[in-house]
């Protein structure tokens, strides 16, 4: 699997996870455990394991849309994977720090989210920073020649 299919699969998964966060049956009540949040709309545990709220779901949807958009070319998908690796690596570290594990009271990133963010960052780093295969290079060259790489609105 190359960077393009990684971006496509991540885009679909993140989009679905973001949408699942809005389905009441998929989100369990937070109870009294966990840090306090300033944004309590939609606060709960997705699949009874991962803390989410409205802003968290919006971030998942945005990351999913970015993955679907970046699937079009090899360079965009590689850059998406690199950005995802850095973004989720930072979130994994922030989730370990008690003062930052709610992103200043806005988004819950504690508990099971920490290891999930760390795994996502590692997989994204693999696809974003690995040496491109000859097939990836040929695909990129084909994109450049055909003009498919050009940014169009």
- What digits encode the pLDDT tens for the residues 28-53? 887 776 777 888 888 888 888 898 99
pTM (2 d.p.): 0.84
153 has pLDDT over 50: no
Cα 91 from Cα 79, distance rounded (Å): 18
Cα 51 from Cα 45, distance rounded (Å): 4
152 has pLDDT over 60: no
Residue 74 pLDDT: 85
Q: Would you call 89 exposed, middle or buried from its count of C-beta atoms within 10 A (0-12, 13-18, 19+)?
A: middle
Please, which pLDDT band fits residue 130 given cuts at 50, 70 and 90?
A: confident
Query: What is the rounded average pLDDT for all residues in the chain?
Result: 87
- Stronger pLDDT, 8 or 30, i.e. the higher one: 8
Of 5, 114, 109, the C-alpha closest to 67 is: 5
Segment 127-135 shows an average pLDDT of: 83
């Amino acid at each position: 699997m190359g960077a393009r299919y990684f971006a496509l699969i991540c885009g679909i998964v993140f989009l679905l996870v973001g949408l699942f966060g809005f389905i009441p049956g998929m989100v369990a009540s937070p109870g009294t455990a966990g840090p306090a949040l300033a944004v309590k709309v939609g606060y709960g545990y997705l699949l009874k394991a991962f803390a989410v709220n409205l802003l968290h779901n919006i971030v998942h949807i945005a990351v999913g849309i970015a993955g679907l958009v970046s699937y079009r070319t090899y360079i965009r998908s590689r850059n998406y994977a690199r950005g995802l690796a850095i973004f989720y690596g930072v979130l994994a570290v922030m989730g370990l720090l008690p003062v930052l594990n709610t992103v200043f009271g806005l988004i819950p990133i504690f508990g099971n989210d920490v290891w999930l963010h760390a795994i996502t960052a590692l997989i994204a780093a693999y696809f974003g920073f690995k040496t491109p295969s000859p097939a990836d290079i040929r695909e990129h060259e084909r994109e450049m020649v055909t003009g498919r790489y050009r940014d169009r609105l």
